[in-house]
Amino acid sequence: MAKANPLQEQLLKAGLVKKSKVAEVAREQNKARHARGTQQANEIQLEAERARAEKAERDRALAAEHKAARRVAELAAQARQIIADKKVPCSGEIEYRFTVDGAIRSVLVDEATRKLLASGALVIAGLDGRYVLLPRSAADKVRERDAGLIVLDHGQDAGAEPSEAEDDAYYAQFKVPDDLVW
Task: List the chain pLDDT tens, one digit each, 182 residues.
Answer: 456 578 778 887 887 788 888 888 888 888 877 766 566 678 888 889 999 999 999 999 999 999 999 999 999 999 999 998 988 888 888 888 988 888 888 889 998 888 888 888 999 998 888 899 999 999 999 999 988 889 888 877 544 444 577 778 888 888 777 777 76
- Check if the beta carbon of residue 179 is closer than 8 Å to that of residue 109: no
Ranges of each domain in the chain: 1-86, 88-171
pLDDT, residue 19, reads: 83
Give the count of alpha carbons within 13 A of 28, CB side only: 6
pLDDT, residue 2, reads: 53
CA angle 177, 181, 182 (to 5 degrees): 120
